Amino acid sequence: MAEIKQNQIVEEPGISNAPLKGVDVIKGYLKSLTSDPGVYRMINLEGDVLYVGKAKNLKKRVSNYAHPGRQSIRIQRMINQTRSMEFVTTHTEAEALLLEANLIKKLTPRYNILLRDDKSFPYILITGDHAYPQVLKYRGTRKRKGEYFGPFASAGAVNQSLAILQRAFLLRSCTDAVFTSRTRPCLLYQIKRCSAPCVEITTRQDYARLVEQARSFLTGRSKTIQKQLAEEMQDLSENLQFEKAAVLRDRIKAMTNIQSHQDIQAPNIDEADIIALHMEAGQACIQIFFLRSGTNYGNRAYFPTHTADALPEQIMEAFLGQFYANKIPPKLILLSISVMEKRVLADALSERAGKRVDLRVPSRGQKRGLVRLALENARKALNRRLVESASQRQLLDGLAEKLGLDHAPDRIEVYDNSHISGTNAIGAMIVSGPEGFIKNAYRKFNIRADKEDTEFQPGDDYAMMREVLTRRFARVQKEDPDRSRGQWPDLVLIDGGAGQLGATLEVFGELGIADVSVAAIAKGPDRNAGRERMFLPNRAPFSLDSRDPVLYFLQRLRDEAHRFAIGTHRSRRAKDMKRSPLNEIQGIGSVRKKALLHHFGSARAISEAGLADLEAVDGISRSIAERVYDWFHPED
C-alpha cells in the first residue's frame, strides 16, 4: 500500500470563523487525489483525527465533502473543523474496509460510529502440547497449540461449561508444573472432577479416549457420546460393577445438565453469529448471539455511540467492521437488517477469516426465528438502558441540587488513595457520567512518596492527594486547554474530610483552576455507612438523609473509587513481592518473604531493620535473621 500525506493548509490570521475554511482545505486535496480505493482521515487544528472513512474511489468520495449543503448538521460541523487530511490507498475496497475498522478502533474519532467495551472473548482450550491434554479457559491470541472452542459471551459462561466438562469427562485443569510434581491424587480426583492422570490412575489410552469424547461433545456430537456412555453403564451394571456404572451415570447427568441450560437450540447450524439491531430515542443496541455446534455460547449487548443521525444500515456496517477487526468471523452471520455494501463487507470478512463468510438476512424458517429472538433481546436491553439513563439523570439532577451546582454534572471524577504505612501508595481516579461509570477513563497514579527525592513522608494522605491532583490537572491543562475534548470534570469528589478538601483547593489555586466544583465525602462516626458528612468550600459540613437516593449514589461513587484503589494497590504490592530483593537471599522462600513483608511493610523497611527486629518476626530464626541482616549490611 502506498500512503499519500498532504501538508496542513495554514490559514491567514484575522480571517473570520467562516464555515468555508474546512471546505477550502478539502478542495485543496482534490487536485492530487487518485480514483483508487483507500482510506481517508480528516484532522482538526490540534492534530486530532475527526473522522476515518473508506472509499471505492477516493477522489469521488472526498469531493462530496466539498459540498457541505448536502450533508447533515453534524457532518457540516466536522467539515468546518477539518484543517488537514491523510490518505492511504489500498488494492481493493475490501482491504480499505478492514483498514478503516482498525483505524477507527485505534483512533476513536469523534465523528465515527464507535463500538465501545469491545473486550476479547474467552474460549475453552484443549491443549495439544502435552501427552495428557489440559482443559482450561483461554483469552487472547491463539498462540498455544491445541483446539479452541468458542467464543463464549462471558467468563461466567466459560466457567460454568468448564465445571460441567470436568464432571462429564474428568479432564485435568492443573498446570503442567503441578501435573509433573504430583505424587498423589489431588482433591479434584476425590470429588470426581478429574481422572488423576498425573499419578497414572488412568492410563494414557483411557485419558485420550476421554479427551476425544470431550472434543466430540464440544463439536455438537453430544447425543452420540451420551448413547455410548449409556450402553457402557448398562454393561457395567449387568456385570455388577456398580461403582464404575455410577461414575458414568454422573457423567451422563452432567452432559444433560449443560444441554438443559441452552435457550437456543439449532442443531442444523454448525457455527453462526446472530446479530440484531434495535434503535429508539436516538440510541442503538446491537445484540449478538454466538451459536457453535448448534449450541448457544451466550450473548452480549453493545451500545455504539454517535448513532443519533445515522441510518440503521450504517450502524450495522460500522459494528461488523469494528467487531470483527480482532476476531475470526464464523462462516455464517445472520443479520436483522442488511448493510449497504454487503458484498464488500462479506469479501473483507472472508479475507479476515481465511474462508468464505456468508452475510444473510433470513426471511423465514428457523434462522428467522433466531434473529427475532436476538432482536427482542436488543429491544429489552435498550429499554433497560434508557430507564437506567433516566434514573441516572435524576440522580445527577438531585446531586446538583444538594451540592448547589449550576447544572447537573456530565462528568464526575472521584479520587481515593490506598497504601499500607505509606508503602506501595496508589492514587486512583474513577469517572462517572449520565450513562454510569466510564471505565475506560479510569486512571491510577503511582505515588512517589517512597522515593528519596520527594518532599513529604510516606503515609501523608494530604500530600499524596496534592500529588495526584497536581499531576492529573497539570496534564489536562496541557492536553485539553480549551476544554473541547471532554477531559475536564464538572465535579471533583474527594474521599475524605476537611483536610482533603483543603488540599484539593490548594492545588486548584496553584494551577489557576476556578471553575471546577469540588466536594469531599467523609465516612461517618465509626465509619458507618449512612452517616457520611459532606464538605464544600465556604459552607458548613452537612449530612444527607440516610434514605436519600443521592446519598446512595454518592456512596456508590466512593465505593467504586475505593474498590479501584484497593485493587490497584494489591496488584502493585503483589508485583513488588515477586521482584523483592529478598529473592536474592539464600534460604528466604515465599513463606519467610511473606512473613517479613507483612511484618515490616516493605523491602526497604526490612533493609533498615536491626538484627533484633528481624528475629522478632514469626518463623525467622537467629541464623536466618543474621543472613538477612548481613545481606543488606555487608560492610558490617
The CA distances from residue 259 to 165, 213, 267, 469, in Å, are 12, 16, 12, 53
Instruction: Please list the helix, strand and coil fractions of the chain in percent, rounded to the nearest 5, in that order.
Output: 45, 20, 35
pLDDT of residue 411: 93
pLDDT at 256: 65
The single residue listed with the C-alpha cell 451459536 is 291
Same-domain status, 167 and 214: yes
What does the pLDDT look like over 142-172, one tens digit per residue? 888 998 888 888 777 788 778 777 777 888 8
Q: Look up residue 541 and give its three cell numbers.
A: 459540613
Report if residue 143 sits inside a domain. yes
> Is residue 391 in a domain?
no
- 220 with 369, same domain: the answer is no
Q: What is the C-alpha to C-alpha distance for residues 15 and 457, in angstroms, rounded to an integer? A: 54
Calpha distance 534→541 (Å, rounded):
5
d(CA 573, CA 594) in angstroms, rounded, equals 11
pLDDT for 507 equals: 93
Same domain, 434 and 560: yes
The verdict on 151 and 231 lying in the same domain is: yes
Q: Could you tell me if residue 114 is inside a domain?
A: no
Q: How far is CA 167 from the centre of its chain?
A: 31
Work out how many domains the chain is built from and give that number. 5
Q: What is the CATH number of the domain that holds 291?
A: 3.30.420.10
Name the DSSP letter for residue 430: E
From 240, 260, 280, the end of a domain falls on 260
Residues spanned by the domain of 296: 271-383
Phi first, then psi, for residue 155 (nearest 5°) are: -65, -35
| CA nearest to 38, candidates 83, 82, 100 | 100
pLDDT of residue 399: 92
pLDDT-flagged residues of the chain (< 50): 1-20, 260-262, 450-454
Q: Which of 103, 89, 86 is nearest to 5 (CA)?
A: 86
- In terms of domains, do 152 and 77 share one? no
In this structure, the answer to whether residues 320 and 296 fall within a common structural domain is yes
C-alpha dihedral over 535, 539, 545, 550, to 10 degrees? -70
First-residue to last-residue Cα distance in the chain: 66
Query: pLDDT digit string (tens) for 208-224?
Result: 988 888 887 777 666 66
CATH of the domain at 555: 3.30.420.340
Please check whether residues 448 and 571 belong to one and the same domain: yes
Answer yes or no: is 43 within a domain: yes
